[in-house]
Amino acid sequence: MIGGGATGVMQRYSVFSLVSNALRGNQHWERAWRDPDPKEEYDVVIVGGGGHGLATAYYLAKEHGINKVAVLEKGYLGGGNAGRNTTIVRSNYMIDGNTQFYEHSLKLWHGLSQDLNYNVMFSPRGYVALATSQAQMDASAFRANSMRMNGIDAELLTREQVQKLLPYLDCSPNARFPVYGGLWQGRAGTARHDAVNWGFARAADSRGVDIIQQCEVLGYLWDGGRIVGVETTRGNIRAKKVALAVAGSTTLLGQKAGLELPIESHLLQAFVTEPIKPMIDYVIAYGTAHFYISQSDKGGLVLGGDLDGYNSYAQRGNLPIVDEVLTVAKALIPALSRLRVLRHWAGVMDMSMDGSPIICKAPVDGLYLNCGWCYGGFKATPASGFAFAHTIAKDEPYETNARFTLDRFRRGYQIDEKGAGPTPGAH
């Protein structure tokens, strides 16, 4: 049997379908999505089968009734950053533009499993950003106030409250990184990254979107100065609109359209330890050494740190960051010192020059851009797809991405959340 995109009726997941399939030996589940050949022409071709491309396709069909859409993925769904991240979801931003956008995303996360009829394993377990100096406590208070004024939940924690919440932290005054307190966001948490990709893929397919894997976009079809399709490894495909959601490959496909974009590609690694009993109930972030950690449902600790520090398109990192991340982990939580790391890997980050994303029409007719996600694009997935779909469908931004323009860099209107300037490695 095939998924709903072909039959028009998607088998809904429910307790009844679980029981009925279990009684029949689990031999009758439908495919989650079809595997169609590319058609000659679509209304919209989305390049990139990561979370952002798939979410865009879903919202194009759901919100705008546009379902002559193809998502073209050069490898497999979620093989890019969407399946490689540390799955942290939060909305503790404080600069106008980012604040509204990420809060919209968090609201969508809270209803996403129901909306997609797919368990994305969203776990709003709470997020603590530790402060390790009085100056950081002041900055945390500033951020918390700004969030609360925007209707976003935020709470300042004292050192004692942090100690109570996270008793395994080295909170002694002599610790290498003494903890002063923290910023708490209770509605933040994690989600299962693969499930997010698969949930969006299945829901988009059920609305008629063609999801085409192993189909690399090599260049564009042009009619004068307008892009009217793409050249791919599976032939030419015409499209009224072409939308890029290719993260670390944005500069490569931008160049083919004659665009020099304010994006650099950098590596970011993630690590998973052997599974242990539940220990870390919350997501912990530690800005001083740019470190973050949570525990997966399987028990592995999921942790990460800084960029590798050099430009690359390779999906693998280097040893100095392994050393750095694990050193910080041990300094902060000494009990981890004898835990073994099971796996580590890297993704190619699309680092923008102010740390904020770009979702807009490109300065080339027929082309649309979604990029610049830096460290934080997983949490943005639903809101990014929602806003990008609106931009493609209406040829104007949605209210949440009005500031995420490309020309803000030319005009000097950067959205510099971290105040790090045009230094991608510092964002």
Instruction: Name which of 34 and 379 has its Cβ closer to ligand FAD.
Output: 379
Told to check if 84 binds ligand FAD by CB under 6 A, we report: yes
Q: Does 377 bind ligand FAD (CB under 6 A)?
A: yes
Residue 391 token pair: 């931009």
Closest CB 122 distance from ligand FAD, rounded Å: 13
* Residues paired with 242 in a beta bridge: 45, 367
Q: Is residue 407 exposed (0-12), middle (13-18) or buried (19+ Cβ within 10 Å)?
A: exposed
Interactions with ligand FAD, residue window 206-245 (CB under 6 A) = 216-217, 245
Using CA atoms, how far apart are residues 177 and 210, in angstroms rounded to an integer? Answer: 50
Q: How far is CA 383 from CA 36, 58, 98, 296, 417, in A?
A: 27, 12, 11, 24, 18
| Phi, psi for 73 (deg, rounded to 5) | -125, 130
8 A C-beta contact, residue 219 and residue 227: no
List all residues 6 or more positions away from 269 whose beta carbon is below 8 Å from its beta carbon.
304, 305, 308, 317, 321, 322, 325, 344, 345, 346
Q: Is residue 375 part of the contact set for ligand FAD (CB under 6 A)? A: yes
Chosen residue from 4, 80, 97, 124 binding ligand FAD by CB under 6 A: 80
Stretch that binds ligand FAD, among 51-59, 92-100, 125-133, 153-161 (CB under 6 A): 51-59
For 367, other C-beta atoms within 10 Å of its C-beta total: 21
397 binds ligand FAD (CB under 6 A): no
Radius of gyration for the alpha carbons in the chain, expressed in angstroms and rounded: 22
Interface pick for ligand FAD out of 9, 12, 18, 75 (rule CB under 6 A): 75
Tell me the one-letter amino acid at 427: H
Report the nearest approach of ligand FAD to the CB of residue 241 (Å).
16
- Structure token digits, residue 185: 């966001």
Residue 238: how many other CB atoms lie within 10 Å: 15
Nearest to ligand FAD of 88, 383 (CB atom): 88
Q: State yes or no: residue 373 binds ligand FAD (CB under 6 A).
A: yes
Could you list the beta-strand ranges (E) of 144-261: 155-158, 181-185, 189-190, 210-212, 217-223, 226-232, 235-244
Q: Which of 131, 253, 328, 333 is close enough to bind ligand FAD by CB under 6 A? A: 253
As measured in angstroms, the least distance from the Cβ of 178 to ligand FAD is 25
Which region, judged by CB under 6 A, interacts with ligand FAD, from 75-83, 115-123, 127-135, 168-176?
A: 75-83
CB of 49 to ligand FAD, least distance (A): 5
The residue within the footprint of ligand FAD, chosen from 60, 144, 268, 353 (CB under 6 A), is: 268
List the one residue from 91, 105, 269, 296 that touches ligand FAD (CB under 6 A): 269
- Which one of residues 38, 50, 126, 397 is an interface residue with ligand FAD (CB under 6 A)? 50
Give the nearest distance from C-beta 50 to ligand FAD in angstroms: 2
427 in contact with ligand FAD (CB under 6 A): no
| DSSP H or E stretch at residue 144 | helix 134-149
**C-beta closer to ligand FAD: residue 43 or 216:** 216
Residue 347 touching ligand FAD (CB under 6 A): yes
Part of the chain binding ligand FAD (CB under 6 A), chosen from 69-77, 142-150, 327-335, 396-404: 69-77
Residue 267: burial class (beta carbons within 10 Å; 0-12, 13-18, 19+)? buried
Q: Which helix (H) or strand (E) holds 206?
A: helix 193-206
51 belongs to the binding site for ligand FAD (CB under 6 A): yes
Q: Does 72 bind ligand FAD (CB under 6 A)?
A: yes
CB 304 within 8 A of CB 87: no
If the CB atoms of residues 206 and 249 are measured against ligand FAD, the closer one turns out to be: 249
What share of residues in the chain are helix, strand, coil (percent, to 5)?
35, 25, 40
Q: Which of 10, 32, 47, 336 binds ligand FAD (CB under 6 A)?
A: 47
Q: Which stretch binds ligand FAD (CB under 6 A): 71-79, 173-181, 324-332, 409-417?
A: 71-79
Binding residues vs ligand FAD (CB under 6 A): 47-53, 72-75, 79-82, 84-88, 216-217, 245-247, 249, 253, 268-270, 304, 347, 349, 373, 375-379
